[in-house]
A and B are shown apart, each in its own frame.
Chain A
Amino acid sequence: MADVNRSNRPLSPHLSIYRPLWTMGLSITHRITGVGLAVSITMITWWFLALAIGEDYFEAANAVMTSVVGGFILIASLWALSFHFCNGIRHLFWDAGKGLELETAYRSGLAVMAGSVVLTVIGVLVVAGVL
């Protein structure tokens, strides 16, 4: 029979065979931020709907956005977006076959981490009205 050994076969991506590297953390963070941003975009869409419906509803949505919990979610979303944005650019370079050397991948990984923090700070400054 053909399928006797099915359960014993190694299945991709069999991550456990690789030596853990910190760049793997960036890889899974790209996914986690992507899924997390689905929550952020849902909140933003709800905020736009409130803006379209009328002032009372908008005030309620705005109160949620500017509350302590809302503010925390907003900053977390800003960081997630910044990370996903920077690492997305890194992925696009890889898709073009560039920057795949280990040293370059390490350097671009560090740049992504730094860039995500810088963009988050810029975003917070825009919200605060400084920029």
Chain B
Amino acid sequence: MRYQTDRQRVEGLGSAKDGTVEWWKQRVAAVALLPLVLLFIFPLLRSVGSDFDDVRAIYEHPFNAIIAILFFITIMSHLRQGLQEVIVDYVHGKAAMTTALLVNTMFTTLIGVTGVFSVAKIAFGG
């Protein structure tokens, strides 16, 4: 049995210190996504149902390629933070939460890297 009180354990440690940074970063990503989503979604919707060469030509264009890469980088951080917030709220228990947060980071990083790699490969004509 532990006789140390909760207060004893945390006294003098101060705050978590980086809570507001996460909050702020998510707002920065959200604001960046407003124009990025609009610029990203338009050529994407145009591409639905088009044939291979036409779609390749769209993403070989530097403007569309740069927008798509910026989109994937930004969504990677926004998605990770958003899902993290949901996990922290609904997943209980240290082991389950830690696992979920790890999987979240790996999943969102994989999405971001795959997206950036694919667009870069197309844009460089590979």
A residues near B (Cβ < 8 Å) are 1-3, 31, 34-35, 37-38, 41-42, 44-45, 48-49, 51-52, 55, 58-59, 62, 65-66, 74, 81, 85, 88-89, 91-92, 95, 123, 126-127
Contacts and interface: CB of A to CB of B under 8 A. Distances in A.
Given A1-B3, A35-B83, A89-B34, A58 B52 contact: yes
Interface majority SS on B: helix, strand, loop or mixed?
helix
A92 B29 CA distance: 11
**Residue from the set A35, A44, A95 with the largest chain B CB neighbour count within 10 Å:** A44
Contacts of A85: 34, 37
Contacts, number: 82
Contact of B55 (A58, A126, A127): A58
A31 B84 CA distance: 11
B45 interface: yes
Nearest to A49: B118
A127 B52 CA distance: 16
Nearest to A34: B82
A4 to B, nearest CB: 11
B13 interface: no
10 contacts: A2-B6, A34-B83, A44-B115, A45-B118, A52-B118, A65-B48, A65-B49, A85-B34, A92-B31, A123-B41
A41 B126 CA distance: 23
